[in-house]
Structure 1
Amino acid sequence: MSRTVAETRASAANPSVIARLLRRPLALAGLIVICVTVLAAVFAPWLVPFDPYEQFFEGLTIEGAPLPPNAQFWFGTDLVGRDLFSRLVYGARTSLVIGVVANGIAVIIGSLIGITAGYFRGWTDTVLMRFTDLMMAFPALLLAIVLAAIFTPSLWIVAMVIAMVNWVQIARVVYTEARSLSERDFVMAERAMGAGAGRILFRHILPHLLSTIIVWATLGIATTVLLEATLSFLGIGVQPPTPSWGNIIFENQTYFTSAPWLVFIPGAAILALALAFNLVGDALRDILDPTQQGRH
């Protein structure tokens, strides 16, 4: 018989899974980076030495150029004399909020569409998956740019735009697995006993898909963080003065040659966080997916 949702959730979070995750050096390194970033974002008001919006006259040279990293401004200052370290820490809040919210919405939409199309088949399958294929035909970045240009950019609008272009991948993956599961004997037996579609979907098919959804949700955060940074860098994401790792690079790109730390430091933060989520997601896939076990 199929496991219940509670049983599957418990198995996904049991100590053996966590212990196996912690035994992987790359996954452990990714977890450390994620935890440090989350803690820095949560406790930003108590960690940063300055207000991220405050402009300092002493934060610029006599010629008006940004200051390099020093004892007062640990990561230097930006082109208007604001402390880069403070803006970077507050920017982590923006990236994480958008990453979690946008990816969460995308996972919910993609999972519902994939499960529904995979189970009901017929015209439902045709309509939903052809719409998914249509969305996949558009380059995600180009579609996000168009949507961001239509709506007034803000934190939540950017999150919604990213969610609207990122659900298609998980929908396709969930659809394939749901379609396979719907033909399994235990599902056929439930149908024969008169079980309704809701019971079969949520008590028998969804529990088998939780590991896949968890893995894709983790990997999707990395994609979302990178997409948010790209939109902000292009000037159609989170708008200044709200700090975002992408718009920090966008604002300071003109000083790339004379003040490279203004681009390299936030760029390194984006790279580190995206890589961390990818490492954890890959490890979870190997641990939770039975077909991957024994290959590493």
Structure 2
Amino acid sequence: MAAGSFLRGLLRRPTAVAGLLVIAAVVVAALFAPLLAPYAPDDQMFDGLSLEGAPLPPSAQFLLGTDTLGRDLLSRLVFGARTSLLIGLVANGTAVMIGLFVGVMAGYLGGFAGAALMRFTDLMTAFPALLLAIVLAALLKPSLWIVALVIAMVNWVQVARIAYTETRSLVERDFILAERAMGAGPARILGLHILPHLVPTAIVWGTLGIATTVLLEATLSFLGIGVQPPEPSWGNIVFESQSYFESAPWLVFFPGAAILATALAFNLVGDALRDLLDPTQRGRG
């Protein structure tokens, strides 16, 4: 599929365009957080609290209000975009690479080695992803990179299953058998014939998985075992403010809306990419 026709096909989908706009806004916020945020994310301001010590609602000075420590919520959300997006990209990119490696190796090798790799994948699938992530995060010292590693360790299994299925179907094709008969080694077969066929799958799952990763990071941070304060992430902003849901609902609503919008945007773009890159979907709809 030519790049021009692919781009036109993507832009013809209103939902994909909406998702791209939201993703672009999050990326801009993450890259230029120091320029866009009106205050430093950790500044505790005396005028950021009422006389009774309560957080302030949205106003001209604090567009999204302040939190329980008098910090500007908009600034923390902008810097939190950097944390959530970085974890989403790093964790999901690592998960896709691990899944591709395990799935391709299992599918190409077959036999006992392939079966052992897939039984290990089944074993990982048997554990609830959130419970496994909670256990791993609790055992390790929570930090940005540890959270990314934990999420990657529980999110690779779906990619491995798909990569295994596609690799098994490819290794039985006539052109692969012909390459083997001509003496081609595993590196040539994998590099020239199998991995290029898996690129669309990696792109689609790489996009769709970011939404899952952002939600899982928010869940871990909400439970207090994700990114640790004072470093802001959307999940720990909700965690810090949950007891003020009734008296200061903006503290939960705005970060929750950011999480929801970002996850939805990546899902919309991922669905569009799947329809465009999957040959069985072209021409439908």
Q: TM-score, normalised by structure 1?
A: 0.95
| Alignment partner of 1:235 is 2:254 | no
Partner of 2:214: 225
Partner of 2:179: 190
**Cα deviation 1:250-287 (Å, max 9, x = unaligned):** 00111000110100100000000000000000000000
Unaligned runs of 5+ in 2: none
What amino acid maps onto 2:86 in structure 1? V
Number of aligned pairs? Answer: 285
Cα distance in structure 2, aligned partners of 1:170 and 1:148: 22
Cα distance in structure 2, aligned partners of 1:288 and 1:249: 37
Say which of 80, 104, 111 aligns to 2:69.
80
Cα distance in structure 1, aligned partners of 2:4 and 2:254: 36
Say which of 168, 178, 192 aligns to 2:167.
178
Taking the TM superposition and a 5 Å limit, the aligned residue runs for 1:1-296 are 11=1, 14-296=3-285
Cα distance in structure 1, aligned partners of 2:170 and 2:201: 13
Cα distance in structure 1, aligned partners of 2:280 and 2:109: 26
Q: Which moved more, 1:14-23 or 1:164-173?
A: 14-23
**Cα deviation 1:25-68 (Å, max 9, x = unaligned):** 00000000000110111011011110100001111111111000
Q: Compute the displacement of 1:123 (Å).
A: 1.1
Cα distance in structure 2, aligned partners of 1:155 and 1:90: 13
Q: Secondary structure at the match of 1:291?
A: coil
Q: Compute the displacement of 1:292 (Å).
A: 1.2
Runs of 4+ in 1 over 4 A off after TM superposition: none
**Cα deviation 1:220-276 (Å, max 9, x = unaligned):** 000000000000000000000000000000001110001101001000000000000
Q: TM-score, normalised by structure 2?
A: 0.99
Q: Compute the displacement of 1:295 (Å).
A: 2.3
Q: Compute the displacement of 1:198 (Å).
A: 1.0
Q: Secondary structure at the match of 1:81?
A: coil
**Cα deviation 1:116-139 (Å, max 9, x = unaligned):** 101110011111000000000000
What amino acid maps onto 1:217 in structure 2? G
Q: Compute the displacement of 1:106 (Å).
A: 0.4
Q: Compute the displacement of 1:294 (Å).
A: 2.2
CA RMSD of aligned residues (A): 0.8
Q: Compute the displacement of 1:207 (Å).
A: 0.7
**Cα deviation 1:139-191 (Å, max 9, x = unaligned):** 00000000000000000000000000000010001111111111111111101
Q: Compute the displacement of 1:19 (Å).
A: 1.4
Cα distance in structure 1, aligned partners of 2:78 and 2:137: 25
What amino acid maps onto 2:15 in structure 1? L
